[in-house]
Structure 1
């Protein structure tokens, strides 16, 4: 009886579980339908969100939208973490030129355009300012998802788009700080913006240096004991740790996730971690897109239909045109510029964050957020179609523009992208800035940490301040030496000093390094010790350095060597970056993973004749942790090899189609593989090599052994000549071997 009563008692499930179940069930049905219709899955997620949201009551709806918001925030974190894994910190430091010009042109154009449209709609100044910022930032997550589903990540314009998105995300953080300042003080504060930029720059360098110094070493040392489960947990833990650091420093959690992904990308386990993270990213990414769909409110679309329509048109055309112009200014060809511009024609997650900021500060009207969501939803729908139509539209524009315009654009692009030799002076300046800034940031961080962590512990003891200052100076000495006295680019200085015009600047820059070191010491003493002991401590610093010069220098070189070793651990990125600069103006490097059932597996490069067929070159092959640079023609392709090929978009796409179509189409479950003994009697094959006989192609198998006059040869070379009465051992398709014999 008790068991019966217990069975009749309903078990209460937390709303978090029921809501998550509803979201995933709805998303599963929607994506299956959209996959069947050959439509982008992002659209399916948005439709699923709309159906599961509170604004559509014909189906069961989510009860706690706040829980979904948290899941969505986690989704953004993992999406940006995965983005960082794909695009390392080296790429982040090299996006410069093309991506920066494209992004900044788009941002400044859309800021002005958004503010103007807001004023034309009779919105307040604050609403118009926020609107300009909202419309200026494209959606990283939506574009990456669309690129992945449309299969265009290997095309050259995609690299420019992704670089632009990285720059946009960083600028978006600065704009959020600026908006907060304007909202609080009701006026523009240039000093606040400069401080925010310096703060961001400081933390980026600090996180980068510390991350590269410690994380690759940790993963390398613990590699033997790490299982996939442990590696996944550690990777997520590192990601969330950086998210916490970023949030506590006043930055976006997504920025922290991206930075940690970029740091891990420098390790030789980055690809393995990326594969482990992918299911997690896909799960939470789906929840993020569903949550966006849940915010679609039909009533808002009707009430504010005119502003939504206007802003949608402004977003699509404004971002497309401004990004295209920015890409052209950076020196990209016309077609790639149009492709990049049309890919960036939407708003997304950062726009939601900025709109939420306005609401939380009570400086924007209530209607702004739903309008932004509606515009984002519509432009998310249009993004895949904009990307698809970019190439045909670019061809149409090229056919309509005057030929002299096309030639001028091509000439400008060629001149901009031409490889120019780096001067010795520029090389010296670059090395100078790197050495001074990196060591300066580390020194400031040591001083701040010493004041906040060490001083409170030691200050209660006798001469506590003096002891803290002494310990801090001891730790600082190697970095102060690197700032002030370490020789920078010795070869370049020796050549430059021969010319009179460079002697003065080099001497002044050396003096500046000395003064900067003195300022850092003064900054440390001012924050830790009383002025009474300041001079004594300064003298002690100099004496210590004079006595222990060799040890201090050696310690610094050990630190530097360890850092550079970790930084260069993932060599393919360096190789790829170097090759990238050697490609033709319309060429680029694309990456392809070879499936296990591909028919090119087991073949040598000279057999495949890829250059003759497609015009591509293989820059390097990555095989597990091994990298084969400039592979020889005798190199064999193995399953799961990653080929990095150089070619144009057309050549790369042809090779992509070739890879995708070259599968063994026979059902392996219905195909019987046998080891067959065959005596060579057919005159057609006698005197030919194994390769010339085409036995492999005819039997869909391989010759694994030959008996010649009682002598056995295992795995004979392809140039082995077949003789009469040879006995061949062939592994292959039973039916085809029988047909061959008959």
Structure 2
């Protein structure tokens, strides 16, 4: 007699699924409790990890911590990718000076403070050095999550914080190289650090230039084929491609994710991709924070309670004070400086990596890593409160400081942010260095890639080196011309040439460029030919460049225009207004979305009176692909409109609360009068007419808010859009009137 197989079969679930399920269940319960208590969710994740760890036997525990570490690393990657989508290169450049000064002041100060804190506790030299570096790097992921939970991302100081964090992450990579050198050789290697710095700069420029040239074009060409699923997969594929590439050349995977996010941020699809990636980011981000909570060992907290307490205080107060001072030095007002400083008062993921580096090199003691985790966990708990109370603390400090000090800070800030005149020679030299550096890096990258990838493919063919040299030469010719012969800063140079004493220096600059160009020709040919043949090829190459200057010029201009078009894609489409020019004093621009449930929908700006009641101005309205600059008082608001307002932090916050007050709860009962409903057009008599000609709005008191046409989704279509058979039309309005209209039109 056969026994049923099912009866004796035990289904085995991999530990990975068990652990992930346990983490998410614990996290869900914890965040629900913390949401009820109106506390930041990041704290709930940390508590969930603490309870799900093996330190608590009365709770179900995670079985395979290595798998969770992998999920956590994925979480960091997606968090940094999303961060890049929100803060493009242009935004970083706007706060670049402030961010660099803030970050460098904090890092240098905290390394010194951390080093002497270690010495104070009796630690050895290497432990103290690593401790100083660990305490100098704030946590991007913890701050980003806290900003999300507290709803302060629209405030002006957050740009300074994010810029400083990116500078910190880049410096952290250099610090890891330096610490590795010190650990192995037991001495400082300046040459190694400089080499790493040049390597990082080289790859950052190559990634940015090539990414901006190719990726926006790729997304633009493929846009008609995109569905949400395809766009999500393509964007994540691009992210992970850059992660793999960055790791392959020796950099942080998280840095690669951020770079790709910053590149995609320059495209028209950035906001859509950000929306699609958000659930993925939230999922793996939760796993990351839970994994941090799992690393908290209660025994370590007890055994090393004194060092944990000391280093927690050093981190919170040291980071806050040094960052505040750095931000003031960079020329920011006192309030923003305090907000920036108090936001940066924690350590996080890079600190873990640096602590792990010390342990793997066997140069730090076993107690350092658990202490770092404990300090990180405590400061992660305090971070939301530091951010929340930064504004009151800034007001308190302003009242307590001597009036003359506050006045001097205001004057210094105003002078630092004022537009300063730049000499003509300075403009020329700046443009000269920029052009020579960029084109030199591009030429080196092309030549090395040709040598590494193209040359091996041609080795099996006769004259393979000749073919490789010709292909490489054709590719680098436009950049050689731009480096050697293209006019740089023509207006400024023309002004300088009015004075004969400038003839010599300008001639020297031109000569240097030509020499550099000839050097790259020789460098390229030397990789493919013997010395004798290379000389002949060198002469031929120079002659060809001199014979066809106009064609080469046109080709370069075409390449440059493509890059500039891609770089300014969002500005050309959105016609954004520069924040700095529009934002006087402490005002800034913030964006909000009009939800479909808002009772402001359909009302003209004249009736809403937000300028009179709140004090904010609407700079422009984004409605699908339509952008309304400086809307008139007769302009109405529609569902999913994205409005960009200008005001102070207080005014922007008040406006956000104003929008929430005007959200109307959706009535889900069957007798609801106003609904959002879809209809597929099959036999209606208005097929072939425009939305305006169909008289749908007049007859139903409704509004067409979306159309799906040939697989393409159009949000808030124009009134002249022609309705076609099989279109799916989304209409908002009176349920009975809409149903009657569509049924009577069949």
Same fold (TM over 0.5): yes
Whether 2:446 is the aligned partner of 1:441: answer no
- What residue is the counterpart of 1:79 in the other structure? 79
Cα deviations across residues 405-456 of structure 1 (Å, max 9, x unaligned)?
1111111111111233455444433433332222211110111011111222
Q: After superposition, where does 1:730-741 map in structure 2 within 5 Å?
A: none
Distance 1:52 1:204, change over 3 A: same
The equivalences for 1:414-433 within 5 A come to 414-433=414-433
2:597/2:665 contact within 8 Å kept: no
Partner of 1:379: 379
Aligned mates of 2:639, 2:389 — CA distance in 1: 34
Structure 2 CA distance for aligned equivalents of residues 359 and 644 of structure 1? 49
Tell me if the contact between 2:103 and 2:165 (Cα under 8 Å) persists in the aligned partners.
yes
2:555 counterpart residue number? 555
Which SS does the other structure have where 2:578 is aligned?
helix
* Structure 1: distance between partners of 2:624 and 2:505: 48
**What secondary structure does 2:389 align onto?**
helix
**Matched-pair contact (CA < 8 Å) for 1:466–1:533:** no
Residue correspondences, number:
685
Name 2:587's counterpart in structure 1: 587
Query: Is the Cα–Cα contact under 8 Å of residues 590 and 645 in structure 1 kept in the other structure?
Result: yes
> TM-score under structure 2 normalisation?
0.88
Matched residue, 1:48: 48
SS for the counterpart of 1:50 is: helix
Local SS of the residue matching 1:222: helix
- Check conservation: 1:116, 1:128, Cα contact below 8 A: yes
1:382–1:674 CA distance, 2 compared to 1 (3 A): closer
Unpaired segments ≥5 residues, structure 2:
676-700, 705-718, 720-732, 738-746
**Residue 573 and residue 26 in structure 1: after superposition, are their counterparts in 2 closer, same or farther (change >3 A)?**
farther
Distance (whole Å) between structure 1 residues aligned to residue 2 and residue 33 of structure 2:
46
Shift of the 35–518 alpha-carbon distance from structure 1 to 2, 3 Å rule, reads same
Counterparts in 2 of 1:135 and 1:500: CA distance versus 1, 3 Å: farther
Contact 2:300 2:370 in 1 (8 A): yes
Relative distance call for 1:632 and 1:732 in structure 2 (3 A) is: farther
1:528 match: secondary structure: coil
* TM-superposition CA deviations, 1:490-516 (whole Å, max 9, x none): 222222322456444333222221121
Distance in 2 between residues matched to 1:355 and 1:623, nearest whole Å: 48
Is contact 1:320–1:341 with CA below 8 Å preserved after alignment?
yes
CA contact (8 A) 1:205 1:438 kept: yes
8 Å Cα contact 1:109/1:322 also seen in 2 = yes
Aligned to 1:657: 657
Compute the TM-score of the two structures, normalised by the length of structure 1.
0.88
Matched with 2:110 is: 110
Taking the TM superposition and a 5 Å limit, the aligned residue runs for 1:703-742 are none
1:625 positional shift: 3.1
- How do 1:52-201 and structure 2 match up within 5 A? 52-201=52-201
2:353 is paired with a residue whose SS is helix
Instruction: Report deviation, 1:598.
Output: 1.4
Aligned counterparts of 1:607 and 1:590: Cα–Cα separation in 2: 22
Distance 2:442 2:278 in 1: 34
In the other structure, the counterpart of 2:215 is 215
DSSP-derived class of the 2:590 partner: strand
Counterpart of 2:487 in 1: which secondary structure?
A: coil
Distance 2:116 2:525 in 1: 51
Contact 1:595–1:639 under 8 Å retained in 2: yes
Distance 1:491 1:179, change over 3 A: same
Alignment of 1:289-300 (within 5 A): 289-300=289-300
CA drift at 1:186: 1.4
Distance 1:703 1:280, change over 3 A: closer
Looking at structure 2, the residues matched to 595 and 527 of structure 1 have their Cα atoms a distance apart, in angstroms, of: 61
Cα pair 1:703 1:730 within 8 Å, conserved: no
| C-alpha displacement of 1:576 | 5.0
**Do the aligned partners of residues 301 and 501 (structure 1) sit closer, same or farther apart at CA in structure 2, a change above 3 Å counting?**
farther
Counterpart position of 2:272: 272
Distance 1:703 1:17, change over 3 A: closer
Q: Tell me, yes or no, if the aligned pair for 2:246 and 2:253 is still in contact at 8 Å.
A: yes
| Aligned pairs for 1:528-547 within 5 A | 528-547=528-547
1: CA distance between counterparts of 2:157 and 2:703? Answer: 45
Aligned-pair distance for 1:368? 0.7
Q: Which residue of 1 aligns with 2:599?
A: 599
Q: Is the 8 A contact 1:572 1:627 kept in 2?
A: no
Give the conservation status (yes or no) of the 8 Å contact 2:672–2:735.
no
Q: Deviations over 1:685-705 (max 9, x none)?
A: xxxxxxxxxxxxxxxx9999x
Check 1:541–1:295 CA distance in 2 against 1; reply closer, same or farther (3 A cut). Answer: same
Partner of 2:492: 492
Comparing 374-383 and 557-566, the one that deviates more? 557-566
1:673-712 correspondence to structure 2 within 5 Å: 673=673
Alignment check: 8 A CA contact 1:702 1:731 kept: no
The answer as to whether partners of 1:568 and 1:574 remain within 8 angstroms in 2 is no
Residue 692 (structure 2) aligns with: none
> Shift of residue 37 of structure 1?
0.7
Offset at residue 462 of structure 1 (A): 4.1
- The question of whether the paired residues in 2 share the 8 Å contact of 1:72 and 1:284 is answered with yes
- 1:580 is displaced (CA, Å) by 1.9
Aligned twin of 1:234? 234
Task: Provide the residue aligned with 2:317 in structure 1.
Answer: 317
State the shift of 1:731 in Å.
10
Alpha-carbon shift at residue 670 of structure 1 (Å): 7.7
Q: Give SS of 1:602's match.
A: coil
In structure 2, distance between residues paired with 1:618 and 1:495? 42
1:509 aligned residue: 509
Quote how far apart the aligned CAs of 1:666 are: 7.3
Residues 292-333 of structure 1, C-alpha deviation per residue, up to 9 Å, x if partnerless? 000000011111111111100000000000000001111111
Alpha-carbon distance, 1:665 to partner: 5.0
CA contact (8 A) 2:95 2:159 kept: no
Cα 1:453–1:104 shift into 2, 3 Å? same
Structure 1 SS opposite 2:569: coil
Q: Is the 8 A contact 1:450 1:472 kept in 2?
A: yes
Two-structure CA RMSD over aligned residues (Å): 2.4
**Residue 477 of structure 2 contacts residue 545 of structure 2 at CA under 8 Å; is this kept in 1?**
yes
Distance between the aligned counterparts of 1:703 and 1:625, measured in 2?
18
Q: Secondary structure at the match of 1:570?
A: helix
Partner of 1:306: 306
1:435 and 1:671 map into 2 onto residues whose CA distance is 67
Residue number in structure 2 paired with 1:409: 409
> Any conservation in 2 of the 1:619–1:629 contact (CA below 8 Å)?
yes
- Residue 214 of structure 1: SS of its match in structure 2? helix
Residue of structure 2 equivalent to 1:391: 391
Supply the distance in 2 between the matched residues of 1:113 and 1:356 (Cα, whole angstroms).
21
In 1: Cα distance, 2:577 partner to 2:199 partner: 29
Distance 1:489 1:625 in 2: 36
| Partner residue in 2 for 1:681 | none
Deviating more after overlay: 89-98 vs 333-342: 89-98
How has the CA–CA distance of structure 1 residues 658 and 514 changed in structure 2, closer, same or farther, with 3 Å as cutoff? same
Q: Deviations over 1:621-667 (max 9, x none)?
A: 22223333333333222211222222111111111111111122574
Task: Kindly state the Cα deviation for residue 8 of structure 1 after the two structures are TM-superposed.
Answer: 4.0
CA contact (8 A) 1:138 1:345 kept: yes
Measure the CA separation in 1 of the matches of 2:520 and 2:674: 76
Aligned to 2:255: 255
Aligned equivalents of 1:703, 1:173: Cα separation in 2: 54
Structure-1 separation of matches of 2:513 and 2:627: 40
Task: Check conservation: 1:579, 1:619, Cα contact below 8 A.
Answer: no
State how far apart, in whole Å, the 1-side matches of 2:433 and 2:178 are.
Answer: 27
Partner SS state of residue 359, structure 2: helix
Q: Distance in 1 between matches of 2:290 and 2:265?
A: 29
- In structure 2, the CA distance between the partners of 1:179 and 1:674, relative to structure 1 (3 Å rule), is closer
